[in-house]
Every structure is written in C-alpha cells, then in structure tokens.
Structure 1
Amino acid sequence: MAAVSFKYWNDCVDPQDLDAMWTDPDVRAEWLNVGETMGSKVHLSRDPDGQPYLTQTEMKVVAGIIVRRHFVSQIDSDMLCAIAELESGRQPLATQYNKKSKDYMMGIMQISPKTADWLVRDLSYQTYEVRGVSKLLYKPFVNVYLGAAYLKWLSNFEQIERSEEFMVRAYKGGTKKATHKSTLHYWKKYLSVKGSLPARKVFEVGPVPIALSASAAAISPRKGANPTKTTWDSRTSPEDMEEMWNNPNVSKEWTKSGEKRGKVRLSHDTEKRPYLSRTEQRAVAEIILAKHFSTIGLKPTVLCAIAEIVSMRFVNGVGQRTGLMGIDYPTARWLYKEDLGYQGYIVKSVEDLTNPFISMYFGTAYMAWLSKYEGRERSPQFVVQAYISGPQNVNLQETGPIWLKFEEALNRYEEVKKDQCSCPIL
C-alpha cells in the first residue's frame, strides 16, 4: 500500500465538506477552543503514537452529514459512529490486511478497495469516485459514505428487511456469519460502545447557522430530508405543480385550506414529518400514469395502496425505505439506465427520491418491470408481493399477510368497493 499522510483536515476532505464541518456548532466550538481559526488549515488530533484520529464530536458530525445527505431514514448515524469506534478507533489511516480475502481493509470504517469498487460499480454509489484510486478510501467522508452504503445493502439483504443485529454482525463477519457465535462478541461490544456515545439532538439537526462561506451556505442541515423543503413547490417541478393545480380534487382541497400558488404547504404530523393527503397522493399517481405509463393499464389506486404500505404516505419514507414509494437510490439508478429506459425523471441523489413525483415514477417503473419478471406475464398477487419483499420471496400458494395488507390499503380509496374479490392491476 502506498504511504499516505494527513496532518490537517484540509488534506483529507473536500472544501465543501470542511465548510459543512465548520457549520456544525459543536465542531466549531471544539475547533475554536483548541485555537483553530476559520480560513486556516485545521489540525487533525493525534494519538500518543502520532496517528491522526477523529474526536467523538468530529466523528458524530461526519456520520450525521453523510446520513442527512444520502441515507435519510435508512441508516442510524450512531451505528456508523459505534462501528467506526470498533473498527479503527476513528483513525482515518487505519489499515489491516485480511489474509482470508487477501485484501486490505482501509480507513475509519475499514472498507476494502474490492468492496468500494463493487458499491460504486454495481450499486451506483457514485457520490465519491474511488474506483482504481484506493488511497481515497482514507478520506473520512468517502470511507463513511461507503460504510453506510454497505450497511444499507445489508439492511435489505436478499430482499428481507434485516435487524440492526444482523447488519452489525454481518458487517464484521460477512452475511454467512451474521448469526454465528464468532460475531456475537462484536455485537455485544457494539451495543456497549453505542450506549456510551455522546447524547445527540433528535435527527442531529438544529437551526440553519449563519453561512460561513459561499459554499457553506449551499449546505443546509435537514430534518427528515430537508427542513427548508416544507412546501410542495420546493420539492416539485413547476410543470408537476401545474398538473396538481389542474386536478379538481387537489385544487379544491388546497383552496379550502388557504394554499396559494407558489407556496403550497405540505402536511406535517406531530413529529413534523411531511406527508401527503390521500387526495394529493391519488393525484400524483394519476399524473404519473397519464404522462409516462398510459399503455400499461396500471390503476392509480394500486400505486396509492403500495405507498400506504411502504411509507404511510410520508414523503421522506419510513424505516429502511426511501420516499413515498419506498424505492431506494440504487434501484432507481438501475431503472434509469438506458437498457431499461425509465428516464422520465433524473435521479442524481437519494434526496431526489423525496420528491413525490420522482418516487412515484420509479415505483411505477419497478412495478412495470415486475409485471414481466423473467419474461413472463405476472399476476397482481405476484407483482404486489414482489414489490414489497422481492421477486425471489413470493409465495402464491396462500393469501399471505402482504396481500391482505394491500387489499386493506386499497379499500381506503373511495373508488374501490369493499366487496371486490380481485384487483385488476395490469
């Protein structure tokens, strides 16, 4: 491995990431207290052996920034902090050689170049380009981003929603050792470390601080996805907003609640999470189908029922699922590729999927793909089960809980009569 040396934060982070660090009040206070000054290089802390490391405050903020930008409602930043503590002691230059895999484990989260290449190439985690330049894995933001991406993959391994314990133990020993006794001690240590981490604010965000520079001003913390995106207009294109206003039911609902063009508020629950009314959700489904999928005969009520199950109509998604339709970023990027041709909307980051129209579009595209899975025409039951749990986990021999949940959600929409015994999806 080529020798790499970091003396300053400036040596191992991009300028915009350093600005984001300065923007955090805890990091700013810590740095100013030890004599760092804005506009000058920021020293990395050193252990007694002279190795650079991140303080717990710095680590917490790096993890928080990565989660807020790329993994909202998908990965817990405390999980990243605890694993970083166990894997490297928060040392960005930590390196270990794995004799079994014959590969180096690098950086704060101990990511191998092989794993990094796979995440970038096959799963489209391309925010930081690292292929062929393994030393970039020593950079804290790059390494934590890829560590989070790997945990995100583990969270839905084999299209099954996995527990925190599975994810952590698989991170240590691989998916085959996730339930093996060899990783149990690691899990117990993880719980101890996680429990001892410094307390954090809910969602780790507060008011947007005064911009420290032009690039810092472009980076605002977010709650859920982004606290500034509390209106429909801030999340949605003008063209799609015009379509919403042209929908008589939506126009009636918005006008009745005092909404005005250019500043339509999103509904929020008691925890300030934005969600769609059923009228709004139905309109989004109708618009997406009419503009992009008019030939496949998919019913808008079906899309609405899927959204009810996977996101409870929350714009940012729920749990491990992103956005209204629960479509994650790698799946959206895969659907967007030219060979599949679903390019009605551009998706450049996970935050794009918190746009209701973009999430609905790629959710619909995925259902269209599933309807002809492996070159065969598929039944409604197959499509619904495959959408929720993956095409490899479909059981059509019995009416399982997924289909029952779907029918229950479907019945919440006025147009569907309760005595229907089947649902014509496609």
Structure 2
Amino acid sequence: MSVSFKYWDECADPEDMEAMWNHPEVRTEWTDAGETEGQGVHLSRDPDGQPYLTQTEMRAVAEIVTHRQFDTKLDPEMICAIAELESNRQPLATGYDKKTNLITIGVMQVAPKVAEWIVREEDYLLFPVKEDPDILYKPFVNVYFGAAYLRWLSNFDGKIRTEEFVVRAYSGGTKKVNHKSTLPYWKRYLQVKECYVSRKQFDGPSPIEAPTFPTSPVSPSKGFDLYWDSRVSSEDMEHMWNHLDVFKEWIKSKEIKGKVRFSCNKEKKPYLSRVELRAIAEIVVSKYFSTRGINPTVLCALADVVSMSFIDGNEASTGLMGIDYSKAFWLYK
C-alpha cells in the first residue's frame, strides 16, 4: 500500500505539531494560510500534486530536531540545504541507487538500511524503522535519521571532519569524498546553503519579526508592471501559454491573452507561482542549456531560496536569481 499525506497531522506526532505551532514563523505562515490549530493543517503541493514542505516549515523541522535531539550541535542550514538538493523538500520522494542497491526515502533521502544501522549504533528505539520503514516518510523522523548520519560523518573514523567531507560523504559515501563525482554536489550545496544563510540574516535575529510571506522586494511594482505582458516578450508569453500546467493555472484564474496578471502579496509586490517558476526554468533550460545537464528543479530551488520567487528580488538580492548588473555583464562578456 502506497504512502500518502494530505495533512501535516498525518505525518507528524502531536508533540511535533505542538512544536510547529509554537514556532513563530510557522504559526504566522499557517495562520495566514487559513489553517487552525487543532484541525488538519494542509501540506503544500507542487504542480504535480506532490506534497512538499515550505522553506519555513523545513527550517522549523530542522531547528526543532537539532535542538531537541542533538543539543543544537548540528547546523540547521546544512540540513535544509541537503533536503533541498536531495528531494526539493518532498516527504514522499523516493530514490534508488543501482550501484549500492539502496532505496532512499523522504526529505533527506535516508536509506532504510542506514536508518536501521543508526538505530543499532545509537541504541535509539523511539522510531521502530526496521518494523515499519514507512515512518521514514514522516519529516521529523526522516530529518532525525538524516541528522544522525550527518553527525556520525562529522566524526568519521574518530576524526573531526570538515563540512566538505560530511556533505560529499552524505552524497556519495565516505569512499568517494575526494572523487570528482561528488564535487558538483558540494558546489550546489554551497550555493543553496549560502542562500539559506543570507535569508536568515535578512530575516533578522528575532524569529517573531521575520517575514512569513515572500520577502518584500526593493521597490514595489505599479500599474502595467503588474502584468506579465509588460515584462515578457511575445515569444516567451507564447511558450508560457503552451505550457500545460501554466495554461491550466491561468485559465483557472481567468487570465486572458495580452493581459495576464502577476500574483501579488498584500503590498502589491509581484511574485511567481510555483507553476510559473517551474515553467520558466524548463523553458530556459530547453532553449539555451539543453546539452549542459542543468536541472530545472535546482534553478527553482535557488530562486525560491534567493528571492522567495519575488520578481524584483528583495533587499538581499536582485531579481529572481539574485543576479546584479556587474555579474550579468561579466556573464555576457
């Protein structure tokens, strides 16, 4: 029987739900979304209908787990960045490694065999993963085992290891830490983690004061700038309309060709929906980088982290991807 979750309450224990509601940023995000404490909290879903954790939820889970079970000795940003790369924060994500014959599960893509080994090694009996491996689909359980593995790697073979060693070993195993196959993963990790750290600094020291909706861009857009057609070429608009998921979303919101509105927050600052962002990434990769092995999902994750999908960026970045003029000019040259 396949695993499926519609509500947070189906994949988190009452204690975990209480901790989430007590997290100021999560409470604000959930309340703004119309969720009510004591009732089922809906999981967000991507264009394919797969549930995912928002960045606020992912960070909260990482912070709660590290504080509760690792005495904050692990970096929550490391956990968030790895979850971003491994699964795009999808709790039902699964993978399979043909070389090791291992199945991986959940937001941090933990292998059940690795989780069983951690239970034996740490004598941690709270999660009976051997009897019920499906519990690894639960975010709190998955993050615990992923974090436990990271901690073990950080002291592998009795030596204090570098962050690069830990991350590359998490991706390819301890024998491939210095192999070229794990280097791209390390580089992508640094990019994603830097964005998480930058966002944390921008959010400010107090989680109560941190913004919970896409961070405000430098200056609000007005008038015609709130329409797609004022910022996008007719050719690109045609590509967008021809994208099935975008077409469905725009028709549902009663958009018409020639006058498609951007989604805006309460301050009338435009941002891209996940469907729109994914479509742009797929179109750009298809047009310009089809032979470069660039993953549109990674581009979406970076845009989500850098600007929270605000078109004009925020105070810590320029535009969706944080590319300022000097960097764009250098790339052009």
Once the two structures are superposed, the pairs formed by residues 343-382 of structure 1 within 5 Å of their partners are: none
SS in 2 for 1:199: helix
Instruction: Show the counterpart of 1:169.
Output: 168
Superposed, which structure 2 residues align to 1:12-411 within 5 Å?
Answer: 12-197=11-196, 198-199=199-200
How many Å separate the matches in 2 of 1:71 and 1:203?
22
Q: CA deviation at 1:205?
A: 7.1
Unaligned runs of 5+ in 1: 208-426
Q: Secondary structure at the match of 2:84?
A: helix
Compared with structure 1, are the counterparts of its residues 145 and 202 closer, same or farther at alpha carbon in structure 2 (3 Å cutoff)? farther
Superposition RMSD on alpha carbons, in Å?
Answer: 1.9
Contact 1:64–1:204 (Cα < 8 Å) also in 2: no
* CA 1:204–1:183: 2 relative to 1, 3 Å: farther
Aligned mates of 2:100, 2:124 — CA distance in 1: 23
1:147 counterpart letter in structure 2: G
1:72, distance to aligned residue in structure 2 (A): 2.1
Kept in 1, the 8 Å contact 2:25–2:208? The answer is no
SS class of match (1:185): helix
- Counterpart amino acid of 1:72? D
Query: What are the Cα deviations for residues 303-343 of structure 1, in whole angstroms up to 9, with x where unaligned?
Result: xxxxxxxxxxxxxxxxxxxxxxxxxxxxxxxxxxxxxxxxx
Q: Which runs of 5+ in 2 are unaligned?
A: 210-333
Given that residues 24 and 208 in structure 2 are in contact (C-alpha distance below 8 angstroms), is that contact kept between their aligned partners in structure 1?
no
The 2-side partners of 1:205 and 1:160 are apart by 35
Query: 1:119–1:150: 8 Å Cα contact kept in structure 2?
Result: yes
- Amino acid of the residue matched to residue 195 of structure 1? E
> Identity over aligned residues, as a percent?
58
Aligned-residue offset at 1:124:
2.0
**Separation in 1 of the partners of 2:5 and 2:81?**
23
Residue pair 1:125, 1:149 contacting (<8 A) in 2 also = no
Query: How much does 1:16 deviate?
Result: 0.7
How many Å apart are 1:204 and its aligned residue? 8.1
CA distance in 1, matches of 2:134, 2:191: 31
User: What are the Cα deviations for residues 57-96 of structure 1, in whole angstroms up to 9, with x where unaligned?
Assistant: 0000000000001112421010000000000000000001
Structure 1 residue matching 2:193: 3-state secondary structure: helix
- Residue 19 to residue 164, structure 1, CA distance change in 2 (3 Å): same
Structure 1 or 2, whichever has the larger Rg, is 1
Distance 1:104 1:125 in 2: 22
1:208-236 residue CA offsets vs partner (Å, 9 max, x unmatched): xxxxxxxxxxxxxxxxxxxxxxxxxxxxx
C-alpha separation between the residues in 2 aligned to 1:147 and 1:42? 24
Separation in 1 of the partners of 2:205 and 2:187?
Answer: 25
In 2, Cα distance between the equivalents of 1:54 and 1:145? Answer: 16
The aligned counterpart of 1:326 is none
SS at match of 2:99: coil
CA contact (8 A) 1:12 1:139 kept: yes
Local SS of the residue matching 2:56: helix
CA distance in 2, matches of 1:164, 1:205: 26
Q: What residue in structure 1 maps to residue 256 of structure 2?
A: none
Contact 1:4 1:93 in 2 (8 A): yes
Closer/same/farther in 2, CA of residues 204 and 112 from structure 1, 3 Å limit = farther
Mark the CA change 1:63 to 1:113 in structure 2 (over 3 Å): closer, same or farther: same
Cα offset for 1:203? 9.1
- Give, in whole Å, the separation in 1 of the partners of 2:72 and 2:45: 33
